[in-house]
Amino acid sequence: MLRCNACDKEFISNQKVPDKWDNTARSAIVLQRINGMPFTRLAKLQGLYNVPVAPSTLWAQCLGLWLDCGYLIYQQLINLAAECKLFYLDDTGAKILEVIQENKTLPEKQQRSSHTTGVCTETKEGQKITLYITDNKYCGENFAHLLENRENKDHYIKIVADASSQNTPKLDKEELKKVIIANCIAHGRQKFYDLKDYYEECGYFLAEIGAIYQVEEECRNYCARKKLRCHKSRSSGHIRNIYSKIRYLFKEKIIEPNSDLGKAMNYWLKHKPKLTKFLRVKGIGLDTNKVERALKSIILQRKNSLFFKTRTSAKVLSGLHSIVKTCEDNKVNAFAYLNWLQSNSRNVQKGELGYMPWDYIKLMAYINSTELIAA
């Protein structure tokens, strides 16, 4: 006996009953959840269509997609990212109720807050990867865990992150020697920008930093080697001007070291080697804007949903978010890709290759070319 949930009509069928939840339904639920629609709100919306679905059922569909194929694709993304050479890292806060409950039973010094780590990188073939890792660990700890999947550990890797010590990978001394860390100039600029209404000297620093970004804009399409030469010849002078001005203001005692502007200038002095790394190492970006833009989408999810209930839900939704965001970065139709992925879930579970987002692009291009030839 079957009943239509829209019109309440009942009928008997001898045919095999199809799966109630097809691929498109699961994909739609995942995309709506990732784009900031909590399960409770989505369930309420379904009720307005007179097709009520419980929040727990919606979560079960997301979990089903994850267990069928999502976690395998996420693991492949991690493995590919681990072999890349340039990473943009940043953290944002997260709430996991399971972790909060555990902290209540631990001594204060052992309590750990939860964070979502964003990792943006690109393979040597030009495929962009965005990963989200949510746990009660900091960025450096999550990134060190990612590097455990790295096969070739002899190559140097480059990291662009803010100056927080929490972003430094938690590796042993020998491994850390092969990590080149650059700090975000945008964070240093923000310190001057916040004080521009109170100190006229900030205008000078903002103008010099703006000139560096102008150089970056003009050479954005250059190869890494040519961009490095461009910054060396044109941006070095602006960096010298910034540090000469800082030393002059301190030497003449125009600005006190413990003032707000003094603290901002000390930030630049303290982190000078890493803030100027883009003048010495090719491929290094000026800032972490790339990963900060990527984090905005998961921050929207956090603001609407407020928290994750368990570590499992945090891992599942962060993993699915990584897959969808990677699709977006590579201009792949995420809805169609998730449908295709579920249709081939058995092959994915067997460990067969060729099911990444960029493989879907190649498949669609091949099908379209074949149809054109046939026509």
| Digit-coded pLDDT (tens) for 86-133 | 999 999 999 999 999 999 989 988 888 899 999 999 998 999 999 999
Structure tokens at 350: 């067997």
Task: Give the pLDDT mean for 197-217.
Answer: 93
The C-alpha atoms of residue 338 and residue 332 are separated, in whole angstroms, by: 10
Which residue is listed with tokens 């070739």? 152
Exposed/middle/buried for 212, CB within 10 Å: 0-12, 13-18, 19+? buried
Task: Give the pLDDT mean for 165-172.
Answer: 84
pLDDT in tens, 9-57: 776 666 555 567 788 999 999 999 998 889 999 999 988 988 888 999 9
**Residue at 250 is within a domain:** yes
Q: Which amino acid is at 41?
A: R
pLDDT given at position 168: 85
Q: Which amino acid is at 242?
A: I
**Residue at 194 is within a domain:** yes
Q: Is 92 helix (H, G, I), strand (E, B) or coil?
A: strand
Q: Which residues pair with 65 in a beta bridge?
A: none
Q: Which domain holds residue 268?
A: 185-287
Predicted structure pTM score: 0.89
Question: How many domains does the structure of the chain reveal?
Answer: 1
pLDDT in tens, 264-322: 999 999 999 999 999 999 988 899 999 999 999 899 888 888 888 999 999 999 999 99
**Residue at 237 is within a domain:** yes
**Residue at 233 is within a domain:** yes
Other CB atoms within 10 A of residue 260 CB: 14
Binned at pLDDT 50, 70 and 90, residue 163 comes out as: confident
**Residue at 321 is within a domain:** no
pLDDT given at position 14: 61
Task: Give the pLDDT mean for 191-203.
Answer: 92
**Residue at 340 is within a domain:** no
Which residues, at least 6 apart from 19, have a Cβ–Cβ distance to it below 8 Å?
none
The C-alpha atoms of residue 94 and residue 114 are separated, in whole angstroms, by: 5
**Residue at 256 is within a domain:** yes
**Residue at 280 is within a domain:** yes
Structure tokens at 185: 């100039």
Residue 172 has pLDDT above 80, yes or no: yes
